[in-house]
Amino acid sequence: MRKKLKRQFRIPGPVKPSLRVRRAINRYLSNPISHRGEEFGRLLWRTTEKLKTICQTNNDLFMFTSAGTGMMEAALLNCLMPGEKVICVSNGFFGDRYIAIAKTLGQQVVEINYEWGSPVNLEDIKLAIQAHQDTKALIIVHNETSIGGTNDIKSVGELLKGKNILFITDTNSSIGGIDVRVDEWGIDIALTTSQKALMNQTAMGILAVSGKVWWKRQQKNYSPRSYYFDLDNAKRSFATGHTMMTPSVPTVAGWDVAADMILEEGLENVFTRHQQAADIIRRLATDFPLVAPIEMASNTVTAFRWQGTEKSLADFLNKLDKKFNLKIAGGQGRFAGKIFRIGHLGDITSEDAHDIANRVKECYNTIK
């Protein structure tokens, strides 16, 4: 009998944090510190500085104890008043979620929709901006986790340069694994979470906020639409070394170390490692077609189309989990039962990627 395979937990986030990160979290669980004390202030400030380096920004950066969806809502809440116009570009599950959130907040939504998995056409964005001169913000997901595709936000940033429109982008499954240059690309709000390529445990989020956002808020006498997520509250508290509401202290501590790991390796090396892992995983496309075209294939998550029934996909994923000790994800929303996704983010190596690809192939061979 062959020996038990090492557990590979490879959904596209949350990731399993590495031992160093888990130890840091444990330390703060075993010896709690006050979130109102000086030690926490030092932890918060130094972790924030490291995260700013990873996000390639000198803008303000705030941590919130929240899931990614909270950050999605916070970005929209802090940039737009009800009735104001936002262009939402969507080619997947999370792009659609922005449309739903903006509508819930009473914002006027100009939708640019694509088939899930299809690339974004910059011409469409150009035309929408021309047709809607009163647009206040544009939102696009950078790495659409639901389709395994990366949108070209650098070009979107170029398109928006010099325009009176706030550029919001969701980097939930990219920052820390794929190059995102917040300042250079003119991103006004970049949002992300702890549990993906930033290698931490779940449920803290980040908003990186440009000077243009603050300026816009002053110009129009912005009145807060939320207490918990209000940026003025966040800024005031951060200056005193706190978060306004009780934070997940162990998660901040985990981030302190996870950020060290990324910076010690070097951003360029981290991006290359993710690309190499992605290249290996993508070779499975000989058996299963990619959901997103190769030109936009993501370096942190790959989505494949399943060729059989919903039931046979469920059986395949179950067998991978139980017999091959590999946990990957199915599809979301309208892609449920039709695709499967492999997360190759966090501390993934090429060796892991080969191992994952081999297990997927081997398992598939047992059932096809």
* Closest to ligand PLP by CB, 222 or 299: 299
Nearer to ligand PLP, 95 or 186 (CB): 95
Identity of the residue, 214 or 251, whose beta carbon is nearer to ligand PLP in the bound complex: 251
HSE, CB side, 13 Å, CA atoms: give it for residue 238: 19
* Closest residue to ligand PLP, based on beta-carbon distance: 68
Minimum distance, C-beta of residue 42 to ligand PLP, in the bound complex (Å): 27
Angle, to 10 degrees, between the axis of helix 267-282 and the axis of helix 249-265?
90
Query: Hey, which residues does 90 pair with through a beta bridge?
Result: 113
Task: List residues near ligand PLP by CB under 6 A.
Answer: 13, 67-69, 72, 94, 141, 145, 170, 172-173, 193
CB of 25 to ligand PLP, least distance (A): 18
What's the closest the beta carbon of residue 193 comes to ligand PLP, in angstroms?
5
Q: What are phi and psi of 286, to 5 degrees?
A: -70, -25
- Our CB check for ligand PLP shows the closer of 114 and 364 to be 114
Name residue 268's amino acid: E
Choice between 40 and 66, CB closer to ligand PLP: 66
- At position 49, the amino acid (one-letter code) is E
Q: How far is the CB of 201 from ligand PLP (least distance, A)?
A: 12
Which of 172, 175, 119, 114 has the alpha carbon at shortest distance from 145? 172
Q: How far apart are CA 227 and CA 8, in angstroms?
A: 40
Rounded distance, CA 348 to CA 325, Å?
16
CB atoms within 10 A of CB 365: 9
Q: How far is CA 8 from CA 55, 144, 286, in A?
A: 28, 22, 22
CB of 99 to ligand PLP, least distance (A): 13
Q: How far is the CB of 94 from ligand PLP (least distance, A)?
A: 4
Give dist(CA 196, CA 174) in Å, integer.
8
61 or 178: CB nearest ligand PLP: 178
- Least Å from the CB of residue 308 to ligand PLP: 25
Helix H or strand E segment including 190: strand 189-193
40/94 with CB nearer ligand PLP: 94
Residue 88 dihedral angles phi and psi, to the nearest 5°: -110, 120
Kind of pairing, strands 135-141 and 108-113? unpaired
